Structure 1
Amino acid sequence: MSGVWKALAAAVLFGLSTPLAKGLLGSTSPQVLAGLFYLSSGIGLRLMGLVPRLRPFLRAEAPLRREDQPWLAGAVVFGGILGPLLLLVGLQRTTGSAASLLLNLEGVFTALLAWFVFKENVDRRIALGMALIVAGGTVLSWQGGPEWGELAGPLAVGAACLCWAIDNNLTQKVSAGDPVQIAAIKGLVAGSVNVGIALALGAAPPPPSLVAGAAAVGFACFRVSLMLYVLGLRELGTARTGAYFSFAPFVGAVASLLLWREPVTPSLVAAGALMAAGLWLHLTERHDHWHVHEPLEHVHRHVHDEHHRHEHAPDDPTGEPHTHLHRHELLAHRHAHFPDIHHRHPH
C-alpha cells in the first residue's frame, strides 16, 4: 500500500501549488511563472546530489539506462513542451470555465491509454472509482454553463490533456529508474522551454523575489510531487496512480478555503463526496489471482523479497535496499498485487 500513499502525497503537493501560485501572480505572466516552477525545481533537484546525507539514498536508486532514453525523451516532449504550448493556445481561444472542465480529460486519457494501448489491467471496480474521481473534478471545476467559443480552443486544450496522458504512460516505462534524475531532467528541459517561449512572446523578466518564491513552490509542489508520482507509477501502474493524482484539484480547493478564505460551495461538497467514494473503491481494491512471472532482467531499487531471490555477483552491492542488474526466473504463484513493474502480466 506504500504506493497508494506516495500517489496521494503527490496529489496533495501538486494540489497545493494552485493556491500558493495565486499568491505569486501579479508580478509576472502565468506563462513565465509556470516555466519558473519547472526550471527552478529541476535545478533544486540537481543540487540535491551535492548534499552528503542524501547521497546514500540517491545511490540506492537505479540510474537511467540507454534503453530508457527514448521513453523519457518522449515524456519530456509531450508533457513538458507540447502540453503547455497547446494549453496556452487553447486558453487564448476559450474561456476559463470551459478549460477547467476540459482539463479533467487528462485523467480519462491517462487511464484509457494505460488500459487499451499499454494493456494495463483494469476491472469494473477500478473503472468505476476512476469515473467517480473524474466526475468529482468536473463538478469542482463547473462554473455554470461553459462558454465554448470557437472549436479550435477546446480542441487545443483537449490535445494538451492527451499530451500529458501520453507523458504519464511514457514516464511509467522508466519508473524503475531514479525518480530524482527523472524529475530533474523533466524540470530543466520543460522549464527552459516554457520560460523561453514566454519571454519570446513578450513577457517581462521576473523580479528576484518572484524567482525565489517560485523556486520554493516549484521544488515542493512540482518536482517532489513528480518524484512521488514516479514512485507511485512504479508500484501501482499508470491508471491507478493517475486516479489518485486526480484528487489534486480537491486538495487545491480546500487549501484555498484556508489560505484565501474562499466560500464553501455546494459543488465543493459534492465533489468531495464523489472523490471520496472513488478513492474508497480504489483503497479497498484487492486484486488476487494465480499469475506467472516470465523471465525478466532489469535494474531497480529492491530488497530480497519473494520476487527477488537471485544470487549476487561479487561486485554487487551489499545491504538493503540496493540496486544492481538482476534476473527474475520463471515464477508462478498467487498473492494480492498491483500492476507494478513486476506485475504487468496479461489477464
Structure 2
Amino acid sequence: MTHHYGYVSAVLAAFLFGISSTLNKIALRDVHPMVVAGSVYLTAGIVLMLLRFTPVKERILKKFESGVKTQESFSGRDIVILAFVVLFGSFLGPLSFMFGLNNTTAVNASLLLNTETLFTVLIALLVFKEKASRRSGIGILLILIGTVVISTENFREVELSKGLLGNILILLAGLSWAIDNNLSKLLSVKRDLFLVTSLKGLFGGAALLILASLVEVSLHVPLQSIPYVFTVGAFSIGFSLVLFLFALREIGAMKTGAIFSTSSLVGAIFAFLVLGESFTTVKAFFGVLMFIGVYILSLE
C-alpha cells in the first residue's frame, strides 16, 4: 500500500465525520447534547468491538498493512497513553465543547473550534518534532483559511467579547482534541486499530453518560432519534476514527489534523442538501481552496 493511502484515509475520515453535524442537529431536537455525545461514542465502541470478532476485522486490517512496522501487543506505556486519549478525546473535548456552546454564540463556537487544527499542528511541530516543509506549510495554511471561512457564517456576527467563559471552553475543547490527535499517533502503530478505537469509544461514551446521569439529565433517546445516533456512532465516529488512526500512522498528526478539518466543508454541503441551509459561492470557492491545500500536502 502506497503512502498516498494515508491521505485518502484522512479525506474519507473527514467525509464520514462531516456528515455527523447535520445528523446530530436532527438528534438534538429531542435529546440532550450530553446524551447525544455519550451515546454516539458508546455506539462507536460497541460496533467496533463487535466487528473485532468477525472475519471483517482481519480483512480490513490486511488492507491497512503498509511499509510502517506495526505492533501486536500493548505495553503499560500504551495503556497510559490510551487513558489520556480517552480523557482528552472522548471526555474533556466533547464536555468542554457542549458547555462552551451553551455559554457562547454558535458563530463564536464555529470560529474558535478551528483552533483544534492550529493546536494539532503546533503540538506536532513543537512537542513531537514532526517535520514541515515550506510546501506543507502552504497546504496547511490554505486548508485552515478555507475552514475558518466555511465554518463561520458571518464574520460580522463574531463577538469574542460575548460569552467569554463559553469561548474559553471552546478553546479548551480544541486543545483537548489536538492533544488527543497527537497522542493517538503513538497508538496508531498498533496493528489492531479496532481495539484502540473501540476502547476509546466505550470508555469515553460510558463516562459521558455516567456524568449525565449524575447531573440528573434524562438518558431517554426517542425511537425516531435512534437511527441518527446509530449512524453517527458507527460511521462518523467509529469508522472515521479507524481511518483517522491509519492516516496518523502513514502521514503524521500534523497533516492528518489539517486534512481532517475539511470535514467542515462536507458538513456545510450535507447541511445544504438535507436541511436546506445556505451554501454560497464564497463557501464553494474556499472549499476548492481547501482541496488545493490537500493536493499540495499529498505532493510531499
Higher helix share: 2
Tell me by how many angstroms 1:57 deviates.
5.2
3-state secondary structure, aligned to 1:36: helix
CA contact (8 A) 2:38 2:205 kept: yes
Alignment of 1:182-261 (within 5 A): 182-204=196-218, 205-261=220-276
Letter in 2 for 1:195: L
CA distance in 2, matches of 1:276, 1:249: 12
TM-score by length of 2: 0.88
Gap change, CA 1:128 and 1:191, over 3 Å in 2? same
Q: Does 1:167 align with 2:177?
A: no
Higher RCO structure, 1 or 2 (CA under 8 Å, sep 6+): 2
What residue number does 1:118 align with? 128
Letter in 2 for 1:151: L
What residue number does 2:50 align with? 47
Tell me by how many angstroms 1:76 deviates.
1.0
What residue number does 1:147 align with? 159
Q: Does 1:282 align with 2:294?
A: no
Tell me by how many angstroms 1:89 deviates.
2.9
Query: Once the two structures are superposed, what CA deviation does each residue of 1:224-267 show, in whole Å capped at 9, x if it has no partner?
Result: 00000000000001101111101110011112222223333143
- When Rg is computed on C-alpha atoms for both structures, the one with the higher figure is 1
Q: Does 1:27 align with 2:42?
A: no
CA contact (8 A) 1:63 1:181 kept: no
Tell me by how many angstroms 1:56 deviates.
6.0
Query: Once the two structures are superposed, what CA deviation does each residue of 1:66-122 show, in whole Å capped at 9, x if it has no partner?
Result: 131121111111111111222233223211100100000001100100011110001
Gap change, CA 1:202 and 1:276, over 3 Å in 2? same
CA distance in 1, matches of 2:13, 2:123: 21
TM-score by length of 1: 0.77
Higher strand share: 1
CA RMSD, Structure 1 to Structure 2 (Å): 2.0
3-state secondary structure, aligned to 2:221: coil
CA contact (8 A) 1:45 1:180 kept: yes
Structure 2 alignment gaps of length 5 or more = none
Aligned residues: 285
Structure 1 alignment gaps of length 5 or more = 286-347
Identity of aligned residues (%): 37
Letter in 2 for 1:48: L
CA distance in 2, matches of 1:95, 1:133: 24
